[in-house]
Each structure stands twice: as structure tokens, then as C-alpha cells.
């Protein structure tokens, strides 16, 4: 078995074991918690559909973070880029309400890509031209994006018929259909899933087979070599952040156009941040991202049931598990050394 | 109005100052620390939870600081002993804070978002601010005239030099990060026991990151970092004063006012980041195997 699959399995095990230990300390039966998670995620066709529904934006936000990582950049701003992408989707869906689907969807998705990408490119520009570390700028840009989104949702595109913080409903041509019942049951799992999977295949092709992918990876892995070879590192950085941001913008398609048909405040529910965990656990590889996103989607769905079926833990346990898995993946060298010491 | 603004600046500067001190210690020793936000959140929550359960302010302060030190200890162990990328580990800690605090909150108080409102809190800002000034002096002294300070800087600039002297630079870093955690913990305690009365979900609101920007703006030196924090606290104070007011007859949307501190922080970074160099060996543990 390749070493990295082994690392992944061990990390998953550590993350789950520590979280169940925590649940035990808090007074739950770990077996019960685990069972609730599994049953919640896979109990019925509809549960599976919900797991796929939660996995869909994670596929795209994970892809977003992975693209930036390929170019040696750490995009913590996927959540803000996704937020603005979602506002753009809702905005065009309200402004161009009556467009037919064949025009409407390509237009909306392109716009979301451009808006999210522009927001990402801003951080790329700050890195390339002004020397600001992208980790700090993307985080600050997140807070600004939330503020701007709140302005557009509450002041510009507000739903007049609703008390909630949400925009009006987008036109029928903008609404992405649900997956057939034999896949998703009666869940809101929608065709964005197919779009996400296509983009992941394209990502694998670009990174492995094209000069674009080659230069992006070269700029990330060996910037000095790239610069000697005449690659414009600054331009690669801005391009990488643009594409990464654009993919994050598309991550808004499922919650906004496939489910709510409007943008709600806070609709990302942290998907941009969990995308970081997806990209790291999936080790930037297409198959890895699919695996990690499906796993974390199932975890999110399973954990929703914790609110109802347990007394002492809540759905937030999913985030704890994800964080612990990332920590386990990150400390693999230390764990490996420890393992060697114990076994020798 | 001006006096209000200045007093408000001082009040808002306290959490930034302590978080920035924590970041300064950690970063000068070569450990990039974006987990400061998690430090603030964990200490704010722990302090509020302990006061809510015990009624003792002093216990709350101690628990908050210890919690933050513990967070930093685990963070440093994973970065140093686990050879984790410091940015990845820091991100994971922020994720952990976002998940673990609500879980603990539900287990302890059976509510989702925040701890119960506290009856007894600190009413005065000045002891905290005075402490911040003392720590400023101590940090200045540490870096200019102590052996620990010198080693700490060397661990961040040129760890090989320490290795040649037979000093374990990883241990120097561990100590610096944990000391930084203690300081950042005071900032978190202030948030929930003085500025607010109890823990509210995400109450640090990015202050850990703004503090980090202040460290960069202050070129990783204590006194300039202090003034950078005051500057960012001032923009926050302006933001609060401007809320709901109209400018020349036009009411500025609150959303635009609220993002002011983040915009100003970004602008400062854009304008000045070029001229400032980071400690040379920052985030090298994942490369050096």
C-alpha cells in the first residue's frame, strides 16, 4: 500500500478516536455517538443524498484550496470568495430574472467564478506586488467579504416578503435541478455535484498534462528554478489566486442555486474553511479530494443528528473531528518517528 | 467626543496588545502563529465558563491563561516535534476552536452559542492596560538585554548558530510559544471578563489576525508593535463611534462602517509590508526534517 494512503487512514483513525474520547469524557457512549454519525450519514437514500449535498460545495472549496496549494499558496480566503460568489449568483438571478436556463446558468456560473476569482486575485496581487503574506490578507478579506455580502443581501437584494436576512428568489432559469431520486432520495442534492466532479477531472488534467499546470506547480515547488527559467512568478501567483478564488465562488452554486434559490447571510457555514481540511487530507490529488469531500460531507450530515440524538454533544463535533484529522495529517513526520521508536 | 474616542481606543487596545505580544514572542523565535485567534477564543471561553461555574473571578483569570498556555503548548509540540507546517497547524487550531468551544459549551451549559451572562466581571480597564505597559517594558528588556531574548531571536533568524553553541533551538521556540500563549491568554480573559460579561460565539472577531498584522506592521519589535496595536484599536473605536451616524445627511450603511478596521489593516499591510523583513527562519520546521 502506498505510504500516503496509510498516513491518511491512521490520521482518520486518530481524529475519530480523539473525538470519541472527548464525547466519552463529556458523558456520551462513544459507540452510540459513532452509530448516530454513521446512521445519520448513510441510514437511508435520503440521508445519503444529504451527505452528497453537503459534499458538493466541499468538493469545490477543497479544489479551490488545492489549486492554490499547487502553486505554493495557502488560500484561507475560500470562505469569503465563496460568500461573494453566492451574492453574485443571487444578484444575477434576481436582475436577469426571466432568462432561459441555457443562457442563465452559464452566465451566472461565469459571473460567480469571476467575482470569487477577482476577490482571490486581490490577495494574489497583494502577495506578488506588495509582499503581503496571503494567509493574513485572505483572512482579512474574508471579514470584508462578509460585510459586503451582508450589505448586498440586506440592503440591495433583500427579500421583501421575508423577515430573514436573505435575498429575493432567483428566476426559474437559474435554479439547478435536484438529482434523480435513485441517487439522492428526497434530499436537496443537485446537479452541481456533476459540475464539481467534472471540474475535478479537468483539474487533474490541467495539473498533470498542460503547461498551465506545469508552470503553476513549478512556481509553487521551486520558485527559484521557475524564475531562472523565465517564469513570471508574480503573474503565476495572481493567476493561481484568481483560479482558486473562482473555484471557491462556484462552491456557492449548490447552496444558492441548487437549494435555497437565494443567498442567505452566512450561507457558507464555514465550507471554505473545511475546504482546507479537504485539500490537505486529499493531498491535492483529484481522487483524494473526492474522497475527503465525500467523507466530510457525510460527517457533516451525520453530525446534524447529534443535536437530536445525544444529550451532551452537538453537530460541532464534526468540526472537531475535521480539525483533529488535519492536525494528525500535519504531524505525520513526528508520529512516524514515534512509531519507529516504539517498534524498534 | 475626542476623550470618548481615546478612552475607547485604550479599552479596545488591550486584547490586541496581549495577542500581539504573544504573536511577537512566537514569531521572533521562528514559529509563525496564526493560532492566536484560537488562543483568544479558548481563554475567553475558559475564563467565562470557570467564573460562571465557580463565581470566582481570580479562578477564571487563572483558568483562561492556563487554557491559552495549553493551546500554545500543543500547537508548539505539533509544529516542532511533529514537524507540521505552522500555517496548516494554526489553521487547524482555529478550526478546532470553532468546533470544540460550542461542544464544550453545550456540555457545560446546555446552550449552543454563549456562556451565561456573568454578574461579576472586572469594571476597570486600567489595570489591564497598566499590565500591558509593564509587559511592553519587559519584552523590550527581554530582547535587548537578556540571554533568553537573544537566543529567542537567534532561533528565529539563524537556528544553525544556536546549534553550533550547543543550544537546543527547538526548546527555545517551545518556551517562546508557550510564554506567548500566556500573554495572549490575558487578552482573551479581558474579552470575556472585562470588555464583555461572558463568552459570546466568535467574540474575538478576528482580533488575533489583526494583532498579527500589528506585529508585522511593528516590524517584529515590541515598541512599534505597541503603537501599531493602538492604531488598529483607534480605527475600531472610530468604527464604533460612526455606527448609526449620518455623514453630511447621508447615513452610511453599518456594514461598511463595521469592515473599517479590516480595510485599514489591509491598507496598512499593502503600503508597508514591502519595507519590512520577517524573521529569516520563520516556519522552517516543516522543511527541516
Of A270, A312, A332, the CB nearest to B106: A312
- What's the average model confidence in pLDDT over B226-242? 92
Q: Who contacts A271 (Cβ-Cβ below 8 Å, separation ≥6)?
A: A57, A58, A61, A78, A79, A82, A251, A255
> Is the pLDDT reported for residue B285 higher than 70?
no
pLDDT > 90 in chain A, percent: 78
Mean pLDDT of chain B: 90
Any idea which of A12-26, A257-271, B235-249, B260-274 has the lowest mean pLDDT? B235-249
pLDDT, tens digit (0-9, with 9 covering 90-100), for A217-235? 999 999 899 999 889 999 9
The nearest CA of chain B is from the CA of A335 a distance in Å of: 7
Check CB contact under 8 Å for B95 and A319. yes
> Is the pLDDT reported for residue A216 higher than 80?
yes
And the C-alpha cell for A101?
436556463
C-beta of residue A85 within 8 angstroms of C-beta of residue A252: yes
> Is the pLDDT reported for residue B288 higher than 60?
no
Q: Which of B216, B211, B218, B212 is nearest to B236 (CA)?
A: B211
B81: which chain A residues are within 8 Å (Cβ-Cβ)?
331, 334
Where residue A273 falls (left for φ over 0; alpha for ψ -120 to 50; beta otherwise) is: alpha
CA distance A127 to A121: 10
B123 part of contact set with chain A, CB < 8 Å: no
Check CB contact under 8 Å for A132 and B269. yes
C-beta of residue A294 within 8 angstroms of C-beta of residue A62: no
CA distance B279 to B281: 6
In which element (H, E) is residue B181 found?
Answer: helix B169-190
ipTM surpasses cut 0.95: no
Sole residue written with cell 448516530: A36
The nearest CA of chain A is from the CA of B85 a distance in Å of: 7
B212 part of contact set with chain A, CB < 8 Å: yes
Where residue A29 falls (left for φ over 0; alpha for ψ -120 to 50; beta otherwise) is: beta
B89: which chain A residues are within 8 Å (Cβ-Cβ)?
327, 330-331
B211 part of contact set with chain A, CB < 8 Å: no
pLDDT, tens digit (0-9, with 9 covering 90-100), for B63-91? 999 999 999 999 999 998 888 889 999 99
C-beta of residue A300 within 8 angstroms of C-beta of residue A285: no
Check CB contact under 8 Å for A334 and B83. yes
CA distance A176 to A107: 13
Most confident by average pLDDT, A11-15, A98-102, A199-203, B114-118: A199-203
Q: Who contacts A260 (Cβ-Cβ below 8 Å, separation ≥6)?
A: A166, A267
B41 part of contact set with chain A, CB < 8 Å: no
Most confident by average pLDDT, A196-205, A331-340, B149-158, B230-239: A196-205
pLDDT, tens digit (0-9, with 9 covering 90-100), for A116-166? 999 999 999 999 998 888 998 999 999 999 999 999 999 899 988 888 899
The nearest CA of chain B is from the CA of A25 a distance in Å of: 10
B259: which chain A residues are within 8 Å (Cβ-Cβ)?
143-144, 147-148
Check CB contact under 8 Å for B100 and A320. yes
Residue A307 exposed, middle or buried by CB count within 10 Å (0-12, 13-18, 19+): middle
Over the Cα atoms of chain A, what is R_g?
20
Whichever domain contains A17, its CATH number is 1.10.3470
How wide is the angle at C-alpha B82 spanned by C-alphas B81 and B84, nearest 5°? 120
CA distance A291 to A80: 24
C-beta of residue B187 within 8 angstroms of C-beta of residue B135: no
Q: Which of A323, A338, A339, A341 to mutate to test the interface with B (most CBs of B within 10 A)?
A: A323
B82: which chain A residues are within 8 Å (Cβ-Cβ)?
330-335
Helices within chain A (DSSP H only): 3-25, 30-42, 45-70, 78-95, 101-130, 134-151, 181-184, 192-209, 211-221, 223-228, 233-250, 253, 271-281, 286-304, 306-309, 317-330, 332-343
A84: which chain B residues are within 8 Å (Cβ-Cβ)?
none
pLDDT bin (cut points 50, 70, 90) of residue B289 is very low
Check CB contact under 8 Å for B95 and A147. no
Of A148, A155, A316, the CB nearest to B103: A316
> Is the pLDDT reported for residue B277 higher than 90?
no
Check CB contact under 8 Å for A316 and B98. yes
pLDDT bin (cut points 50, 70, 90) of residue A1 is low
Residue A78 exposed, middle or buried by CB count within 10 Å (0-12, 13-18, 19+): buried
C-beta of residue A248 within 8 angstroms of C-beta of residue A268: no
Sole residue written with cell 447571510: A265
A22: which chain B residues are within 8 Å (Cβ-Cβ)?
100, 103
Domain count, chain A: 1
pLDDT, tens digit (0-9, with 9 covering 90-100), for A267-326? 998 999 999 999 999 999 999 999 999 999 999 999 999 988 888 888 999 999 999 999
- The reported pLDDT for the residue numbered A340 is 83
Check CB contact under 8 Å for B103 and A314. yes
pLDDT > 90 in chain B, percent: 60
pLDDT, tens digit (0-9, with 9 covering 90-100), for B237-247? 999 888 877 77
- The reported pLDDT for the residue numbered B44 is 96
Range B169-192 burial, b when 16+ CB lie within 10 A, else e: bbebbbbbbbbbbbbbbbbbbbbb
Of residues A34 and B81, which shows the higher confidence score? A34
Q: Which domain holds residue A127?
A: 3-177+186-343
Any idea which of A266-275, B7-16, B249-258 has the lowest mean pLDDT? B249-258
A135: which chain B residues are within 8 Å (Cβ-Cβ)?
34, 87
Amino acid at each position: 500500500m502506498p505510504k500516503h494512503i496509510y498516513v491518511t487512514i491512521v490520521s482518520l483513525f486518530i481524529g475519530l478516536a480523539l473525538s470519541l474520547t472527548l464525547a466519552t469524557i463529556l458523558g456520551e457512549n462513544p459507540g452510540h455517538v459513532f452509530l448516530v454519525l454513521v446512521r445519520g450519514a448513510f441510514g437511508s437514500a435520503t440521508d445519503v443524498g444529504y451527505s452528497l449535498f453537503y459534499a458538493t460545495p466541499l468538493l469545490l472549496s477543497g479544489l479551490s484550496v488545492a489549486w492554490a496549494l499547487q502553486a505554493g499558496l495557502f488560500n484561507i480566503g475560500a470562505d469569503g470568495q465563496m460568500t461573494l460568489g453566492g451574492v453574485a449568483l443571487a444578484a444575477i438571478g434576481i436582475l436577469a430574472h426571466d432568462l432561459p436556463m441555457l443562457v442563465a446558468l452559464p452566465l451566472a456560473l461565469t459571473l460567480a467564478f469571476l467575482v470569487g476569482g477577482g476577490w482571490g486575485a486581490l490577495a494574489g496581487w497583494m502577495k506578488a506586488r506588495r509582499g503581503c503574506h496571503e494567509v493574513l490578507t485572505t483572512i482579512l478579506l474574508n471579514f470584508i467579504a462578509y460585510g459586503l455580502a451582508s450589505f448586498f443581501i440586506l440592503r440591495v437584494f433583500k427579500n421583501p416578503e421575508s423577515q430573514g436576512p436573505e435575498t429575493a428568489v432567483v428566476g426559474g432559469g437559474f435554479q439547478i435541478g435536484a438529482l434523480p431520486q435513485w441517487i439522492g432520495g428526497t434530499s436537496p442534492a443537485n446537479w452541481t455535484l456533476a459540475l464539481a466532479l467534472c471540474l475535478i477531472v479537468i483539474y487533474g488534467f490541467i495539473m498533470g498534462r498542460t503547461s498551465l499546470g506545469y508552470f503553476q506547480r513549478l512556481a509553487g515547488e521551486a520558485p527559484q528554478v521557475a524564475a531562472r527559467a523565465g517564469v513570471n512568478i508574480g503573474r503565476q501567483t495572481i493567476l493561481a489566486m484568481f483560479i482558486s478564488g473562482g473555484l471557491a465562488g462556484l462552491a456557492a452554486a449548490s447552496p444558492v442555486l441548487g437549494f435555497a434559490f437565494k443567498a442567505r447571510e452566512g450561507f457558507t457555514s464555514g465550507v471554505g474553511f473545511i475546504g482546507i481540511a479537504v485539500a490537505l487530507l486529499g493531498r491535492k490529488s483529484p481522487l483524494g479530494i473526492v474522497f475527503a469531500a465525500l467523507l466530510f460531507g457525510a460527517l457533516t450530515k451525520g453530525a446534524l443528528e447529534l443535536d437530536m440524538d445525544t444529550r451532551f454533544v452537538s453537530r460541532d463535533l464534526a468540526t472537531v473531528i475535521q480539525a483533529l484529522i488535519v492536525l494528525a495529517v500535519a504531524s505525520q513526520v513526528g508520529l512516524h518517528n514515534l512509531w519507529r521508536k516504539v517498534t524498534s | 467626543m475626542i476623550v470618548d474616542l481615546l478612552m475607547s481606543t485604550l479599552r479596545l487596545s488591550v486584547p490586541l496588545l496581549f495577542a500581539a505580544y504573544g504573536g511577537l514572542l512566537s514569531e521572533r523565535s521562528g514559529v509563525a502563529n496564526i493560532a492566536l485567534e484560537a488562543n483568544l477564543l479558548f481563554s475567553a471561553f475558559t475564563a467565562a465558563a470557570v467564573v460562571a461555574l465557580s463565581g470566582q473571578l481570580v479562578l477564571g483569570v487563572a483558568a483562561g491563561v492556563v487554557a491559552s498556555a495549553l493551546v500554545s503548548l500543543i500547537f508548539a509540540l505539533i509544529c516542532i516535534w511533529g514537524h507540521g507546517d505552522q500555517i496548516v497547524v494554526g489553521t487547524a487550531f482555529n478550526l478546532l476552536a470553532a468546533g470544540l468551544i460550542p461542544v464544550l459549551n453545550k456540555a457545560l451549559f446546555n446552550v449552543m452559542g454563549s456562556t451565561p451572562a456573568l454578574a461579576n466581571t472586572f469594571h476597570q480597564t486600567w489595570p489591564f492596560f497598566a499590565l500591558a505597559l509593564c509587559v511592553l517594558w519587559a519584552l523590550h528588556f527581554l530582547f535587548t538585554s537578556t540571554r533568553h531574548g537573544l537566543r529567542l531571536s537567534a532561533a528565529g533568524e539563524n537556528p544553525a548558530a544556536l546549534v553550533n553553541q550547543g543550544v537546543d533551538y527547538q526548546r527555545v521556540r517551545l518556551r517562546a510559544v508557550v510564554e506567548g500563549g500566556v500573554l495572549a491568554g490575558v487578552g482573551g480573559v479581558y474579552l470575556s471578563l472585562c470588555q464583555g460579561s461572558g463568552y459570546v460565539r466568535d467574540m474575538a472577531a478576528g482580533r488575533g489576525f489583526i494583532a498579527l498584522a500589528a506585529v508585522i506592521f511593528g516590524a517584529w519589535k515590541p515598541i512599534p508593535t505597541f503603537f501599531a496595536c493602538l492604531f488598529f484599536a483607534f480605527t475600531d473605536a472610530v468604527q464604533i463611534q460612526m455606527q448609526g451616524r449620518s455623514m453630511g445627511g447621508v447615513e452610511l450603511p453599518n456594514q461598511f462602517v463595521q469592515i473599517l478596521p479590516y480595510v485599514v489593516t489591509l491598507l496598512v499591510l499593502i503600503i508597508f509590508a514591502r519595507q519590512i523583513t520577517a524573521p529569516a527562519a520563520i516556519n522552517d520546521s516543516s522543511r527541516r526534517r
